[in-house]
C-alpha cells in the first residue's frame, strides 16, 4: 500500500466544441472514503464523472490511481481500473435476471458453456454479503423496485472489482424509506475499503454520509473541504456563489385563497381508492407519501392517463369526466410529469416548439398574440438558453423544467399538477422553481404538488395530504414536521390530524 490517494485528478480540463466545460479541476478521493461532489447543474460535475467513467476523455490534466498514471480511452478501461459509475439511468437490462445483469460480459463458464448455477450462487452470496439476502438472483430486473435495481447496479460494480463507485444523484428516484437502504449500502462499501464519489443535490445526505466535499462552480474548482468544517448554509453559498436567504420563498403578496377549483370525491381506480381532495384557487396542496403510495397515480388519474373509475371530479364547480389527457387539457388541467425527459419534452425539438406544443395541439385559433405570449412566459421564467431554436436536450435540467412549465402555462390552465418538479435540478434552479410555484398560486391557479422530498411539500404547501397504500391516510397543515408526515406515510397513524 502506498500513501497515495486512491484517486487523484489534477488540472482536469475539457471543452466541447470549443466551449470550456471544465478547467483546472482537482479531485482526490481516498480509499474507503465517501466523497461528495457538488455544484449547480452546469458546474461540470457530470462531465467530470464522465471523464472518470471513460465516457469522455480529458483535454488537459492527469489522472492517478494509487499513485500511478492512468487514462481511460473508453468505459471498459475505466471499469478495468476499478472505477464504476452508477448513472441515474441504470445500466441494466430489464429483460435479464439480476444474476445475468451482474455478470453481463463476464459470465462464468464451464467447458465453454455459461454456467448459470455458478452465476446465481455467486450473485446470492454477493447480495447477502452486501446485506440484501432477500433479493433473488433469478428475478427479472424489470420487475424490481428502483431501490433494488440500484442495489443490483452496485453489486454489479463490486463484482467487477470496483475500488471507487461514483453515484450520480443516487436518491433522486428513491423514496425516503429506500434512502435508508442506500445509507446502509454506502456504509457497507466503506467498511470494505471501497470509496464512494457521491453526486447529489440533497444537502442532508451529503452531510450524513460524506467525509469530504469537493465544490465545483462554472467548471472550476471552488474548494475541497472536510464536511466537519462547513455548514450547509456555507456550502450552498459557495456552490451558487450567492446567498439564498430562505430555502423556500414565502407566498407572494396578494395571493388569495379563492373558490374550489379542483374537487375529487371518492376517486378510485386500480391503484388508489377513496380519494377526497379539494384544491382552491391560490392554494398549494401537497401530496406526500412513500414511493408507490399512489402519489403519481393520483396525478395520472386527474390528468386522464389512468383515469379514476370510481368517484366524481369537478373543475371550477363543473362536474367533469376525465378519461384521457385531451379532456383534462380541455377542462383546464395541466400536468408536469415526473419523468421530464420521457413524458415532458420532445428532446430533439427546439425550446419554442416544445413550449408551443400544448397550444398547437389544442388551440383552435393560432393567434399571433397567443404565440407571443409563449415567448413572454419563457422570459418571465428566466429561461437560460441560447435562443428559442436551441434543442431542449442541451438545456440543464432546471431550464428544461421551465420549458415544461411554460408549455402548460401557455394553455392557461386553472389547475396544475406538479409531479416531482425539482427532480434532478440543481439548488439555484430549484429555488427559482419554488418561486415559480408561488407565482402560479398568486395568479389564482390551484396547485397540486407532489414531491418525494418531504421538506419541499412542507415548505411550499398550504395543506398536505399524506398517502399510504393508495389511500389518503391523513391531512396536515403546511409547515407540519417531517415526523408528523412520516407517521401517516408509514401507516402508523390514520385519520384527520387533531390538534
Partner 1 sequence: MTAFAPRRLSTTALIHLALAAVLAVGGAAVALDGGNLFATANLVDMLTRTSLTGFLAIGMTLVILCRSLDLSVGYVAALSSLVAATTMDGQAANVPLAVALVLLVSGLVGAANGAIVAFLKVNPFIATLGTGLILKGYLDTEYQGPAGDVPAVFQQFGYTRIAFVPVSALVMLAVAAAAIGFLRSTRTGHHMYAVGGDVDVARMSGIRTTRVLLTAHVLCGMCAGLAGLLLAARFGTGSAEAYTNLYELDAIAAVVLGGTLLLGGKGGVAGTVAGVAILAVLDSVFNVMQIDPFAKDVLRGAVIIAAVALYARRQLDRTARRPRFAATPRRPS
Binding site for partner 1 (CB under 8 A): 75-76, 79-80, 91-96, 100, 104-107, 109, 112-114, 142, 156, 160, 268-273, 294, 297, 469-470
Comparison of 80 and 321: residue with beta carbon closer to partner 1: 80
CA separation for the pair 322, 215 (Å, rounded): 47
Count CA within 13 A, CB hemisphere, residue 148. 18
Backbone phi and psi for residue 350, each to the nearest 5 degrees, phi listed first: -75, 165
Nearer to partner 1, 268 or 459 (CB): 268
- How many residues appear in the chain? 499
Q: Which is nearer to partner 1, 102 or 209 (CB)?
A: 102
In angstroms, the CA 135 to CA 153 distance is 13
Nearest residue (CB) to partner 1, 398 versus 470: 470
Q: By C-beta, is 216 or 264 nearer to partner 1?
A: 264
Per-residue b or e along 298-309, where b marks 16 or more CB atoms closer than 10 Å to that residue's CB: bbbbbbbbbbbe
Q: Is residue 284 a contact partner of residue 449, using CB atoms and an 8 Å limit?
A: yes
User: b/e per residue, 411-434, with b = 16+ CB within 10 A?
Assistant: bebbbbbbbbbbbbbbbbbbbbbb
Rounded to a whole number of angstroms, the minimum distance from the CB of residue 273 to partner 1 is 4
Between 93 and 384, CB nearer to partner 1:
93
3-state secondary structure of 314: strand
Measured from the CB atom, is 109 or 204 closer to partner 1? 109
Q: What is the DSSP string of 114-156?
A: E-HHHHHHHHHHHHHHTT-TTS-TTSBGGGS-HHHHHHHHHHH
The nearest distance, CB 149 to partner 1, in angstroms, is 12
At closest approach, how far in Å is the CB of 440 from partner 1? Answer: 29
CB 266, min distance to partner 1, A: 12
396: phi then psi, degrees, rounded to nearest 5:
-75, 165
Q: Closest approach of Cβ 231 to partner 1, in Å?
A: 38
| CB 99 to partner 1: min, Å | 12
Q: How far is the CB of 144 from partner 1 (least distance, A)?
A: 13
Q: Give 111: exposed, middle or buried? Use CB within 10 Å, 0-12, 13-18, 19+.
A: exposed
Cell numbers 450462487 label which residue?
121
> Mapped to the 3 state alphabet, what secondary structure does 379-390 carry?
HHCCCCCCCCCC
Q: Is 162 exposed, middle or buried (0-12, 13-18, 19+ CB in 10 A)?
A: buried
**Rg of the Cα atoms in the chain:** 24
Residue 311 or residue 459: which is nearer to partner 1 going by CB?
311
Neighbours of 139 (CB within 10 A): 14
Minimum Å gap between C-beta 94 and partner 1 is: 8
Nearer to partner 1, 378 or 473 (CB): 473
Residue (116 or 370) nearer to partner 1, CB: 116
Nearest-approach distance from CB 64 to partner 1, in angstroms = 23
CA 330 to chain centroid: 29
| Shortest Å distance, C-beta 38 to partner 1 | 25
Write the burial class of residue 342 (CB in 10 Å: 0-12 exposed, 13-18 middle, 19+ buried). exposed
The minimum distance between CB 238 and partner 1, in angstroms, equals 33
Phi, psi of 167 (to 5 degrees): -120, 120
For residue 248, the Cα-to-chain-centroid distance in whole angstroms is 18
Q: Which is nearer to partner 1, 93 or 361 (CB)?
A: 93
Amino acid at each position: 500500500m502506498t500513501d497515495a490517494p486512491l484517486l487523484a485528478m489534477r488540472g482536469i480540463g475539457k471543452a466541447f466544441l470549443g466551449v470550456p466545460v471544465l478547467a483546472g479541476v482537482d479531485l482526490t478521493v481516498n480509499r474507503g472514503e465517501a466523497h461528495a461532489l457538488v455544484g449547480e447543474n452546469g458546474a461540470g460535475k457530470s462531465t467530470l464523472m464522465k471523464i472518470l467513467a471513460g465516457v469522455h476523455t480529458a483535454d488537459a490534466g492527469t489522472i492517478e490511481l494509487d499513485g500511478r498514471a492512468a487514462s481511460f480511452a473508453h468505459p471498459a478501461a475505466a471499469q478495468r481500473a476499478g472505477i464504476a459509475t452508477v448513472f441515474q439511468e441504470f445500466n441494466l437490462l430489464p429483460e435479464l435476471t439480476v444474476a445475468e445483469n451482474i455478470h453481463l460480459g463476464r459470465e462464468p463458464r464451464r467447458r465453454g458453456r455459461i454456467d448459470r448455477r455458478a452465476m446465481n450462487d455467486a450473485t446470492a452470496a454477493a447480495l447477502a454479503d452486501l446485506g440484501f439476502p432477500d433479493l433473488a438472483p433469478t428475478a427479472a430486473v424489470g420487475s424490481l423496485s428502483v431501490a433494488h435495481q440500484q442495489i443490483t447496479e452496485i453489486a454489479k460494480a463490486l463484482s467487477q472489482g470496483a475500488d471507487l463507485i461514483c453515484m450520480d444523484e443516487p436518491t433522486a428516484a428513491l423514496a425516503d424509506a429506500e434512502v435508508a437502504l442506500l445509507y446502509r449500502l454506502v456504509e457497507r462499501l466503506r467498511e470494505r475499503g471501497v470509496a464512494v464519489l457521491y453526486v447529489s443535490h440533497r444537502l442532508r445526505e451529503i452531510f450524513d454520509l460524506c467525509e469530504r466535499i469537493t465544490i465545483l462552480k462554472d467548471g472550476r474548482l471552488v474548494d475541497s473541504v472536510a464536511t466537519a468544517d462547513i455548514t450547509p448554509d456555507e456550502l450552498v453559498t459557495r456552490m451558487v456563489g450567492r446567498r439564498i436567504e430562505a430555502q423556500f420563498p414565502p407566498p407572494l403578496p396578494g395571493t388569495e385563497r379563492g373558490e374550489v377549483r379542483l374537487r375529487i370525491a371518492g376517486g378510485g381506480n386500480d391503484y388508489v381508492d377513496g380519494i377526497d381532495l379539494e384544491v382552491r384557487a391560490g392554494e398549494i396542496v401537497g401530496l406526500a407519501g412513500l414511493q408507490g403510495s399512489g402519489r403519481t397515480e393520483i396525478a395520472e388519474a386527474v390528468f386522464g392517463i389512468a383515469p379514476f373509475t370510481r368517484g366524481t371530479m369537478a373543475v371550477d364547480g363543473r362536474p367533469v369526466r376525465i378519461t384521457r389527457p385531451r379532456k383534462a387539457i380541455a377542462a383546464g388541467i395541466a400536468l408536469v410529469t415526473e419523468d421530464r425527459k420521457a413524458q415532458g419534452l420532445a428532446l430533439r425539438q427546439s425550446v419554442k416548439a416544445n413550449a408551443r406544443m400544448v397550444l398547437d395541439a389544442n388551440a383552435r385559433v393560432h393567434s399571433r398574440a397567443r404565440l407571443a405570449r409563449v415567448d413572454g412566459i419563457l422570459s418571465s421564467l428566466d429561461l437560460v438558453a441560447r435562443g428559442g431554436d436551441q434543442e431542449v436536450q442541451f438545456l440543464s435540467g432546471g431550464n428544461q423544467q421551465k420549458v415544461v412549465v411554460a408549455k402548460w402555462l401557455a394553455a392557461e390552465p386553472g389547475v396544475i399538477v406538479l409531479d416531482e418538479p425539482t427532480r434532478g435540478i440543481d439548488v439555484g434552479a430549484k429555488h427559482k422553481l419554488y418561486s415559480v410555484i408561488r407565482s402560479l398560486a398568486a395568479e389564482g391557479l390551484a396547485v397540486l404538488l407532489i414531491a418525494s422530498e418531504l421538506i419541499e411539500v412542507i415548505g411550499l404547501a398550504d395543506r398536505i395530504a399524506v398517502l399510504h397504500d393508495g389511500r389518503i391516510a391523513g391531512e396536515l397543515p403546511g409547515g407540519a414536521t417531517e415526523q408528523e408526515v412520516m407517521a401517516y406515510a408509514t401507516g402508523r397513524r390514520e385519520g384527520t390530524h387533531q390538534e
